[in-house]
Amino acid sequence: MAEHKLLFEFAHESEFRTLHGYLARKGYEGLKKAIGMDRQAVIDEMKASGLRGRGGAGFPTWIKWNGIEKEKTKPHYLVCNADEGEPGTFKDKQLMEETPFLLIEGMTIAAHAVQADCGYIYIRGEFVDAAKSLRAAIDEAYQHGYLGKNILGSGLDFDLYLHMGAGSYECGEESALMSSLMGERGMPRLKFPHAPLPTVAGLWDHPTIINNVETYACAPSIIKNGGEWYATLGASTKNSRGTKIFSVSGHVNKPGNFEIEFGTSLMELLELAGGMQGELKMCVPGGSSVPMINAEDCQKAIIGYEEMGEVGSMVGSGGCMFFNEHTCIVSFTWRTAQFYALESCGKCTPCREGTKWMLQILDRIVRGNGQPGDMDLLMSITKQIDGRSFCGLGDAAAWPVAGAIKKFPHEFEYFIQHGRSMVDTPEARALAPRLHQRAFSSV
């Protein structure tokens, strides 16, 4: 299966970043159609499309949009999650740099559907080029009546602001993002069923919709071509429709972002990325937080939310990393655990203590001081974090460790028993973190 470029169709054409170039390529046809439609009809099209959120959890977009109060009593807000901090994922960055109007149009369609007065794009602080591209596009949209008061004479008023984050992974979690946007510390808030959904009480306790960049960017083509048309894409899968952008990296010949139709196999995605440099050993298909799968499972894996579950992993945010035979699984797990321990915000005990504890154990293993029972201890810690933490970061920290031990137990056993990696090749030594270089026999 080849790439299916719906969002990326004109991505490499620099003209597409300007309003003139965007309009010349049939940009804003979706919004023009949407503003002529009843709000509920727009939400119904989103329902027919089967679109699920592209930020990681795959939640049906229409359910969120439909959940906002219909008889408006307060201002409504729209938020775009452009924080993209998941290691291995870099699709939103390219979308914002190369197709800024697609996001702005998608958000304006959503604003019409949910009666939002004001929107915020919360963008990762490091994404300077993406922010420049968006800022220029927002300015142009205001100048030509595509943002602001009475958009295209429709009576729709919608203001859009760009807010740069400060590089915290946790601020991608939606409730932490909203806290940060309101000037509070970037920590998550109590959630449904213990607190109302953001659609009821989000930003400043007002009804709020929050979606990922790619999710909003899908809206123009859904409205332009119809939800039923969109749902024909990916129809071979159980419940995943449309296209999905995967950021492919690791030991591949042609790393980059690839837009594919759901139902494509993981091996076809690998082919699009130019195939492996070396032999495929394992893959982390959806960003660093999802469980890794071994080469055998990669052969069977079909890209779809339910289908990836059948091989024990997830679509996640689409950060797909392929690794070759020179990869030491223990070092990889150690490095991943280091990231989560550093990014844990410290609000809840299972994650604050658990991530540090897992790191301490992995640290001693990669230093050659692993102890019998370390694998059991690690597994038991993952179980105490998973499902018991205040937000998804805890789960995200536990899954990669549990997944690595389940799929590659022999590598952990060997490292603990011999005090060094069983992947003892010059390539593996070069890749190994400095900390554990001395754990290799001949270094």
Ligand X SMILES: Cc1cc2nc3c(=O)[nH]c(=O)nc-3n(C[C@H](O)[C@H](O)[C@H](O)COP(=O)(O)O)c2cc1C
DSSP state of 265: B
* 55 binds ligand X per the rule CB under 6 A: yes
The CA–CA distances, whole Å, from 191 to 107, 115, 197, 355, 381 equal 24, 23, 7, 22, 24
Q: Is 345 exposed, middle or buried (0-12, 13-18, 19+ CB in 10 A)?
A: buried
**CA-CA distance, 281 to 279, in Å (whole number)?**
6
Choose between 167 and 346: whose C-beta lies nearer to ligand SF4. 346
Choose between 306 and 376: whose C-beta lies nearer to ligand X. 306
Among the listed residues 45, 105, 140, 170, the single contact to ligand X using CB under 6 A = 170
* 345 binds ligand SF4 per the rule CB under 6 A: yes
User: Among candidates 80, 71, 132, 135, which has minimal Cα distance to 111?
Assistant: 80
* 389 binds ligand SF4 per the rule CB under 6 A: yes
Site size toward ligand X, by CB under 6 A: 24
Q: Which stretch binds ligand X (CB under 6 A): 179-187, 292-300, 385-393, 433-441?
A: 385-393
| Greatest C-alpha distance within the chain | 73
| Interacting residues of 247 by C-beta distance below 8 A, sequence separation 6+ | 88, 89, 90, 91, 256, 257, 318, 319, 320
* 171 binds ligand SF4 per the rule CB under 6 A: no
Among the listed residues 108, 211, 221, 249, the single contact to ligand X using CB under 6 A = 211
Supply the minimum distance, in Å, between the C-beta of residue 349 and ligand SF4.
8
Supply the minimum distance, in Å, between the C-beta of residue 396 and ligand X.
6
Among the listed residues 215, 240, 264, 294, the single contact to ligand X using CB under 6 A = 215
**CA-CA distance, 77 to 198, in Å (whole number)?**
10
* 221 binds ligand X per the rule CB under 6 A: no
Among the listed residues 16, 390, 399, 414, the single contact to ligand SF4 using CB under 6 A = 390
Among the listed residues 105, 170, 411, 424, the single contact to ligand SF4 using CB under 6 A = 170
User: Among candidates 290, 83, 58, which has minimal Cα distance to 171?
Assistant: 83
Choose between 361 and 393: whose C-beta lies nearer to ligand X. 393
Among the listed residues 4, 17, 83, 244, the single contact to ligand X using CB under 6 A = 83
Pairing between strand 77-82 and 118-123?
parallel
Choose between 212 and 327: whose C-beta lies nearer to ligand X. 212
Residue 81 interaction partner, one of ligand SF4, ligand X, none, beta carbon < 5-8 Å per kind: ligand X
| Interacting residues of 114 by C-beta distance below 8 A, sequence separation 6+ | 39, 65, 68, 76, 78, 207, 209
Q: Which two tokens stand for residue 44?
A: 């119904």
Residue 424 interaction partner, one of ligand X, ligand SF4, none, beta carbon < 5-8 Å per kind: none
Supply the minimum distance, in Å, between the C-beta of residue 25 and ligand X.
24
* 85 binds ligand X per the rule CB under 6 A: yes
* Residue 103 amino acid letter: L
What residues are paired with 249 via a beta bridge?
321
Residue 112 interaction partner, one of ligand X, ligand SF4, none, beta carbon < 5-8 Å per kind: none
Q: Which two tokens stand for residue 340?
A: 């989560």
Residue 211 interaction partner, one of ligand X, ligand SF4, none, beta carbon < 5-8 Å per kind: ligand X
Q: Which two tokens stand for residue 216?
A: 């909003």
Residue 270 interaction partner, one of ligand X, ligand SF4, none, beta carbon < 5-8 Å per kind: none
What's the alpha-carbon Rg for the chain, to the nearest Å? 22
User: Among candidates 441, 437, 282, 435, which has minimal Cα distance to 359?
Assistant: 435
Q: Which stretch binds ligand SF4 (CB under 6 A): 41-49, 148-156, 388-396, 428-436?
A: 388-396
Supply the minimum distance, in Å, between the C-beta of residue 317 and ligand X.
7
Supply the minimum distance, in Å, between the C-beta of residue 336 and ligand X.
14
**CA-CA distance, 220 to 16, in Å (whole number)?**
15
User: Among candidates 428, 432, 407, 422, which has minimal Cα distance to 298?
Assistant: 407
* 85 binds ligand SF4 per the rule CB under 6 A: no
* 394 binds ligand SF4 per the rule CB under 6 A: yes
**CA-CA distance, 350 to 348, in Å (whole number)?**
6
* Residue 147 amino acid letter: L
Return residues touching ligand X (CB under 6 A): 53-57, 59, 81, 83-86, 169-170, 172-174, 210-212, 215, 391-393, 396
Return residues touching ligand SF4 (CB under 6 A): 170, 188, 344-348, 351-352, 389-391, 393-394
